[in-house]
Structures are given as C-alpha cells and as structure tokens.
Amino acid sequence: MDTSMIEVELKKQLEFNIEEEKLKSIVEIISEEIIKYIQKRKEMTKYILEYRKKVIEDYRDDEDMVIEYFDHEIYVKEEAFKTIDRRLKELTALKSSPYFGRIDFSEEDYGINEMYVGRFGVTPENTYEPLIVDWRAPVASLFYTGALGEAYYDAPKEKIPVNILAKRQYIIKKEKLVGMFDSALDIKDEILQMVLSSNAGEKLKDIIMTIQKEQDDLIRQPRSQTIVVDGVAGSGKTTIALHRVAYLLYNYRKILQDKVLILGPNNVFIEYISTVLPSLGESGVKQTTFRDFAFDFLELEEVMTLKEYMEKVLSGEKEFTEDIMYKNSLQYKKFLDDEVEKLDSEYFTIEDLFFMNELVLSKEDITKMFRVHYKTMPLFRRSKKIKRIIYSKISNARDEKVRLIQKEYDKTVFALSKEEQELKVNDLDFNRRLKIREVIKEVLDLKKKLTWIENGNCVDLYNKINGYKKLTENDLGGILYFKIKLEGIKMSKEIKHVVIDEAQDYNQLQFLVVKELTKCNSFTIVGDSNQRLIPFEGDIPMHDLKNILPNLNVQEFSLNTSYRSTKEIMEYANKYLNAEPIVPIVRNGEMVKEKLVTDEDELKQFILQKVSDFKIKTYENIAIICKDIKETEKIFELIKEALSVKIIDREDAVYHSGVVVLPSYFAKGLEFDAVIMVLNQPSDIGEHKTDVLQNKYKQEDKLRYVMATRALHELYVIKKSSF
C-alpha cells in the first residue's frame, strides 16, 4: 500500500473515531434528558393525583365545585402530561439511533454550521442550539438536496441561501456506529443499498434516512396543494404519502392535529402500514378503507366483498365487466345527476294544506318554497325545512282555533249571572276542553296524513334505479353521491388533509364524494396506473382530477425509479408493461427463474424446497402469490400439513411475517423478501400478443406486473401446465 493510501485510511479511521466520540456524548445527553423527563412525568402525575384528592376532599359536599375543577384543571395538567409523555417516547426511540445524517454548510452572517439530522429533534434544556434537527424541519431539507454547493431552505418568511460544504450519512444500531459514508454529490447508494437489502419488516420505518431528492421534494410540497403521484411499483409512493403526513403535522400541528384521514385499498394494507406513522412520531391519524369510510354514512345490509368483487373482475364475467365500466364512466355521473333532477321535480306530490276545512297553505305557496325560495338546498334537506314551516303553520292555525274557543268560553261565562255561573261553568269548561281536544286530535290526524312530505331512503332509491342488483364497491360512490345530492351530508369530524393510496382504482364519483364529505382542500393522492386491475375506458380518473375537482390546486408528478426490487426482478416485471419501463436502482440479486411443473406432487415439493432455501437465507417475509382465491386455497391445502403457513383469504386478515399464501389483489401495496409467483400455462402472456387477444391479455399483464413487483430480493415463477 503506498503512502497516500495509508494517509487516506488513517484519516478515515481518525474521522470514524471522532464520530464515535460524538455519538457517545450525544447518547449521554439524550440519556440525561430521558432522566429529566421521567422525573417531570413523575412530578406531574404526583401533582395531578394530590390536587385531585385535595379538591375532592375540600369540596366533598359541593358537587358543582368538583365538576368545575375537573373541567379546567384536569384538562390543563393532562395536556401537559401528554406532551411530556410523547417527548419521553421520542427520546427513548432516539437513544439507540439518535441521527442518520450530518450536513455542514455556511450561511451569511452565521459562519459554518454543523447539523445532525434525526427522526426527532433534540434541544437540551437551557440551550438554544439544537443537538439534533428533526428531519421534518425546513432546514433539514438541505440534507436531501442533490449536490454540494449553493442551495437554499425555506424559512417562515423567506428562502435562506446557503453553501453546502459536506454531507455525511451514518448507520447507527444500538448506540454503536456501524458505518458512515461521505456524500459528495447525492445520498450515497451504499446506504440505500444497505436499507434495501434488509428484510421487509423495518424497511418502511427506516426509510427517512434514504429519502431521495425527488421523494423529498414531494414530501415538502405546500400544504394547500393537492399532489397526484403516479409512481411505479417500489418507487416509494406509500412512503412519500406517510412522510408527507408526518411533515405536514410537524409544521402545521395546530391546524392538522387529529384532522388527517388516510384511505388505503384494503384492511390487510391498513394493518401493514399502521405502525409507520406512530414510528414517525405522529398519532391521531384515522386510517381506513373507502368501503369502511362509506359504511360510516350508509346503512347497508349487504355489499359484495372485495374478494367476491375482484374474483368476478379476474374471471372477466361479461355483464359484470360492462357494469363496472359504465359505473366508472362520465355517463354514469350524468345518469345520477339526471335521476336527482327527476326526483326534484317528481318525488313530492304537493297538495293544498287544509286544517279543519280552512286553507292554511296553498299548493302554489308550497311549490314556490320548493322551486324558488329554497331551491339551492338539497331536496331532502329542503323538504325537512318546508315540513318545519308546514308544522309551524299548523301550530299557528291550532293556536288560533284554541284562542277562538277560549274567547267564546270567556264571552259565554261573562254573560252569565253569578248563580248561572255556579250552575253551568263546569259544563261549559268541560265543553271547552272537549273542543280543544278535538282541535289537537285534528292536528295529529293532519300530521299523520302528511305522508307526501316524508323523505325517502337514499339506499332504497339507489337500489331502484340500479335494478336491485347486488351492490358492489362501484356502487358505494354512487350511493354516497346520491345521498350528498339529496341530503347534503358531510363528516361530523373536521378533516383538513386526505391521503388516498392505490388511487388508480378510484372512479371519479369516489374522488368527488371524498371531497364533498370532508370539505377538504388538501390531498396527497398516490397510485400506479400500471396496477389498475379494474376495467376502464379512456384516462383513469386519477389523471383527470383537474376536471373532476376543479377547485383544488392539483399538481401531477411521476416516479419511474423503483427502490424496492433487484434489477433482475424489475427487468422481469418490465416485460409486462406497455408503458415506459421501470428504472431499477442498481441493486443486483438472483436471476428470476421460471419452473414448469406438470403435476401436484412436483408443485408441492418445489414450493417446499424453495421456502426452505429462502429461510436458510434468513428471509422473514415469504409469499406465494396466486392469481385468484381458488388457486390460493388449492396451494394452501397442498402445503399446510408440511409447512407453517398462513392464508390471506379475506380483507380483514392480519399479516406481520412468516410464510403466506394469498391472491394477487390482496398483495397490492405489500412487499415481501421473497416471492413465489404461481401462473397457469399456456403461453407467456407478456410476449407475442395478437390483436384479437390484446384486450384479454392487457389485464393479465397488469396482474402479473403486480405479482412480480411484490418481491424485494428473490422471485421464482412457477408455471403450471393444466392438471
């Protein structure tokens, strides 16, 4: 080794030793902070308990005082307790890996700054300089910018120009410095490779340190903007969406706290990502599916399950496919609008309102209320308003009748002599009460007869125009749209930001109703148009949001680089795409191998052997992905005795790790260390297509693209010949 190389190695070792000492000192400071916060929490708990006890003792006999105390004191102290508790959890999480990056930059008037970036920020008590800067802070964006040299970050009032001098990244595990890399131009692939080469479990959580510039730019888009990200499989769409939520909550906590809604494709996926946001330091975010979101507003007895729906889609059932395409079209929205217009003019058969043979409200007056005065209100809200007016008019007429009865009674009694009053007043009073009772009975009878003003049930009305077919996922948007148009419903809970994942499968009505129900002006919408399995014609709605929701400030972005799978897996998946090929990050792995099997026994032995091989390689998440549920159940039955294996055969299944068999549509959005993809012969559908087979194979291609791109490290393809 020559002298210059020895000097470089010595310099590297020296730098490493300095960084080790720095890490040690930072861990010690964090440990001290943890002790302080434990003490603070202890004191706060003691204070709350003692104060509670004292107040209850002092005001034992004065219930109002106790309630007054609880209304105010508990709220203030427990909010402070929550803040301390959250900070303690953050510090505890940081202790084992306090930071993942450092950036050196010079700023005019401030000289050179050395800034460490971590999952959470740390500024010790009685100091002003942060020890660690939170990755979500505006200044931390410098860590994610591309090259060294001139750059800027967004301060609250202006852009601050800086000169980036150096960038360094760290791998820290259990308080030990495992590795570090200097980044001259961009975030080094070595770090990215280390994270991507790890197993699926911690990948989503550890991604903060490897966010690429193109991803970071999307995460930090303005709060008022709606971003639509069309990203290929493994481009980090879900990561971007969740980190954007964390970023927005950090910077706009007062506005957004507890007011964020995430809509995922199915409950398997929701369960899969549920730990990510808490790991980023955020909670109070509602995560659900569009189906469950719709069920909160609708009283529905039966809707086709996602499994049944997708099975019908995959089988290519002609009538079902045509129904889906129609309900995903612009014509369908027009049809619903026409039906609402028809109901507006025909639903209520308006009549004159008579009370005890006297006209109280004419048909013309009621019609004018419907057609002119309250025309802008949704029909069923309008009818409720008009019903209240009608009831008010009936009450006025009733009161007038009662006044006349009372007046007549008073006049009769007044005209009698004292002797006659003593003899007749009881009879007269009895008659008075009888007449009033008759008036009240007339009121009750009239209200019973007012059936024409009663509102219909939106689900029943929709079923009628839908020909009483079994309701599907496609109908939920339609029923909600109907309900919004007729009842003017909205969410009771305030929502300020909505995330929609796997948005390529949404139709325009779904986008419309989410916007209407949440009244939200800020969205993060992510999807992959290559993964849309649901039949459609023309542009998918995700790319037409500027027309569907014209009031939103919509910006579209595309991501073509995949960070998930190896180069070999992505090149295999690319052959199923008609679009631009995916650019894989250069991470090499095993070649994708195909195996033709001709009988069940061979299939079973091959799967068992491959799973055994994968386990030797310490892969924790292994999936056998089949096209549909029939194939999934068959494979599960074949191997369940010989292998510890789970099956995902319903949308509320929970999966964390191990070997799993599942149909293609439940695998969407998930990733596994290794995948065995089971296909039926004949033909490799990705190649040699004829015009006649084009449409039939288009969906099959997308399906296989989805199946193949679930794999992180290894993909095996089993091709079954008919047996």
Of 85-89, 140-144, 374-378, which has the strongest mean pLDDT?
Answer: 374-378
Predicted pLDDT at 625: 96
Residue 577: CA count within 13 A, CB half-sphere: 22
C-alpha to C-alpha distance for 337 and 554, rounded to whole angstroms = 25
The answer to whether 385 touches 377, Cβ cutoff 8 Å, is: yes
Give the tokens for residue 373.
Answer: 């005065």
Residue in 454, 451, 516, 460 with CA at minimum distance from that of residue 485: 516
Residue 206 reports pLDDT greater than 50: no
- Cα atoms in the 13 Å half-sphere on the side-chain side of 455: 16
Q: Tell me the pLDDT band of 243, cut-offs 50, 70 and 90.
A: confident
Q: How is residue 529 written in tokens?
A: 């148009």
Mean pLDDT across the chain: 84
State which amino acid sits at residue 438: E
Which of 7-11, 93-97, 200-204, 523-527 is least confident?
200-204
Percent of the chain with pLDDT strictly greater than 70: 87
Over residues 313-346, the pLDDT tens digits come to 888 888 898 899 899 888 999 999 999 999 998 8
How far, in Å, CA of 628 to CA of 249, rounded? 39
The pTM is what?
0.78
The C-alpha R_g of the chain, in whole angstroms, comes to 34
Hey, which residues does 114 pair with through a beta bridge? Answer: 104
Whole-number pLDDT of residue 692: 35
Specify the pLDDT at position 574. 87
pLDDT tens across 488-514, in order? 888 888 999 999 999 999 999 999 999
Min mean pLDDT across 63-67, 145-149, 607-611, 620-624 is at 63-67
Angle (CA) 530 532 534, round 5°: 150
pLDDT surpassing 50 at residue 418: yes
pLDDT at site 626: 94
pLDDT of residue 205: 44
Residue 200's nearest CA partner among 503, 664, 618, 661 is: 618
Q: What is the pLDDT of residue 193?
A: 52
Identify the bridge partners of residue 230 per DSSP, sorted by sequence position. Answer: 527, 558
In angstroms, the first-to-last Cα distance of the chain is 63
Q: Determine the Cα–Cα distance for residues 231 and 527; give it in Å rounded to an integer.
A: 6
pLDDT grade, residue 281 (50/70/90)?
low
pLDDT computed for residue 61 by the predictor: 57
Q: How many residues does the chain have?
A: 723
Give CA–CA dist 165/655, Å, rounded. 45
Average pLDDT over residues 565-570: 88
224-242: per-residue pLDDT in tens?
A: 999 999 998 888 888 888 8
Higher pLDDT, 405 or 696: 405
Residue 647 pLDDT > 90, yes or no?
yes
Pairwise CA distance, residues 395 & 388, whole Å: 10
The answer on pLDDT for 278 being more than 70 is no
Q: Are 159 and 178 in contact (CB under 8 A)?
A: no
Cα 105 from chain centroid?
Answer: 37
Q: Residue 693 above 50 pLDDT?
A: no
Q: What is the pLDDT of residue 208?
A: 60
Per-residue pLDDT, averaged over 630-659, amounts to 88
Share of the chain above pLDDT 90, in %: 39
Classify each residue of 214-225 as buried b or exposed e, where b means 16 or more C-beta atoms within 10 Å of its C-beta.
bbbebbbbeeee
pLDDT beyond 60 at 629: yes
Band the pLDDT of 686: cuts 50, 70, 90: very low
Q: Is the pLDDT of residue 476 over 60?
A: yes
Residues 539, 546 contacting (CB under 8 angstroms): no
- The tens digit of pLDDT for each residue in 169-205 reads 888 888 998 888 776 544 445 555 555 555 555 444 4
Report the pLDDT averaged over residues 592-600.
90
Q: What is the C-alpha to C-alpha distance for residues 671 and 674, in angstroms, rounded to an integer?
A: 9
The pair of structure tokens assigned to 361 is 């409200």
